[in-house]
């Protein structure tokens, strides 16, 4: 029998739930899919333990929640991808021969951007709704993923700040987030592909009606604002929204599946020994429209 309980009922009763009593590698009933959707609306992050997915069963589970996004957020490496399906993001530190990437591998350095707080695909005009991350191999220590509740981040702002940011529009690009880490190894083609897109800073969740801060380290400008002033505000807001009381730190077990709502959360990866293997596969459900169209 499917049940969903808060992971930390005392300090975060409304954020991050643990689901039990279901094998999600098998076809779901409509009732089960709807219960998981409701759980996502409530908790923002759901954890399922012991789910032995391969890419096919992960894709099938993900399709219960909408149209899937192509895994097109990477640089063009000029090599074939390690994973067969173009709908599965390779969140691993492995090269095409399944060997741990060298410390200075350009692909690895680019992926270190995941250590910064972000919302998946906010750099795409139509960004991600849900991300689903399956832990196929994990390192012996470290490598947590942390999640911040952006609804709580919004709710706890003072009224003047809420009024000031209500209608602000940000520019998001992976060029901005990578620049924060000093990564600038982009080709002219990458720069065209990662041209900034516009996203509202405050968004209203289409199912729950709750407002949240839509932030990411990909946000590097606010329309109509001087850049340093925009970045100072964005930094203040990220600092506010990622205070520890709003954060759930997920410590991975092999075969965990964690899904989160990118419209209501931010997340970041934590470091681990770069000599050890970490192999995670991510599928992504797209939003139905851009945040600009959502508000209109």
Q: How many CB atoms lie within 10 A of CB 76?
A: 10
C-alpha–C-alpha distance, residues 264 and 33, integer Å: 19
Q: Which is nearer to Fe ion, 51 or 265 (CB)?
A: 265
**Smallest distance from the beta carbon of 75 to Fe ion, in angstroms?**
16
From the CA atom positions of the chain, what is the Rg in Å? Answer: 18
CB of 114 to Fe ion, least distance (A): 5
- How far is 281 from 292, CA to CA, in rounded Å? 29
Min CB(116)–Fe ion separation in Å: 10
- The H-or-E segment that residue 238 falls in is helix 227-241
Indicate the residue among 157 and 203 with the shorter CB distance to Fe ion. Answer: 203
- What is d(CA 130, CA 156) in angstroms, rounded to the nearest whole number? 24
Contact 254, 280 (CB under 8 A): no
Candidates 69, 120, 261, 294; binder of Fe ion (CB under 5 A) is: 120
Q: How many residues of this chain interact with Fe ion, rule: CB under 5 A?
A: 1
Among residues 157 and 269, whose Cβ is nearest to Fe ion? 269
Contact segment (CB under 5 A) with Fe ion among 116-124, 175-183, 185-193, 240-248 equals 116-124
Considering the complex, state which of residue 136 and residue 165 has its C-beta at the smaller distance from Fe ion: 136
Told to check if 279 binds Fe ion by CB under 5 A, we report: no
Of 75 and 157, which CB lies nearer to Fe ion in the complex structure? 75
Neighbours of 188 (CB within 10 A): 7
Question: Degrees (nearest 5) of the Cα angle 214, 152, 46?
Answer: 85
Q: Which residue is nearest to Fe ion (CB)?
A: 120
Which range, of 44-52, 113-121, 144-152, 283-291, touches Fe ion by CB under 5 A?
113-121
Query: By the criterion CB under 5 A, which residues form the site for Fe ion?
Result: 120
């Amino acid at each position: 029998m499917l049940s969903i309980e808060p992971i930390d009922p005392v300090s975060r009763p409304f954020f991050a739930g643990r689901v039990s009593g279901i094998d999600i590698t098998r076809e779901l009933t409509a009732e089960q899919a709807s219960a998981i959707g409701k759980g996502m609306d409530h908790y923002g992050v759901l954890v399922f333990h012991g789910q032995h997915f391969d890419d096919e069963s992960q894709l099938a589970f993900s399709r219960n929640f909408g149209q899937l996004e192509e895994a097109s957020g990477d640089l063009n490496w000029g090599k074939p991808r390690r994973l067969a399906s173009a709908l599965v993001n390779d969140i691993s530190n492995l090269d095409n021969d399944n060997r741990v990437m060298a410390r200075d591998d350009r692909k690895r350095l680019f992926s270190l951007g995941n250590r910064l707080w972000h919302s998946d695909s906010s750099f795409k005009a139509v960004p991600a709704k849900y991300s689903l991350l399956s832990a196929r191999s994990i390192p012996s220590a470290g490598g947590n993923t942390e999640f911040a509740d952006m609804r709580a981040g919004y709710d706890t702002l003072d009224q003047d700040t809420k009024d000031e940011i209500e209608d602000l529009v940000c520019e998001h690009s992976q060029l901005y987030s990578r620049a924060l880490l000093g990564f600038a190894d982009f080709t002219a083609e990458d720069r065209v592909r990662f041209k900034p897109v516009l996203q509202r800073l405050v968004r209203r969740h289409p199912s729950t009606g709750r407002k949240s801060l839509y932030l990411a380290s990909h946000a590097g400008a606010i329309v109509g604002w001087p850049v340093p002033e925009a970045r100072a505000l964005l930094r203040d807001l990220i600092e506010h929204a990622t205070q520890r009381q709003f954060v759930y730190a997920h410590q991975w077990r092999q075969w965990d599946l964690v899904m989160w709502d990118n419209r209501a959360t931010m997340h970041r990866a934590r470091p681990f020994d770069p000599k050890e293997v970490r192999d995670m596969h991510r599928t992504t459900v797209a939003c139905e429209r851009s945040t600009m169209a959502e508000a209109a």
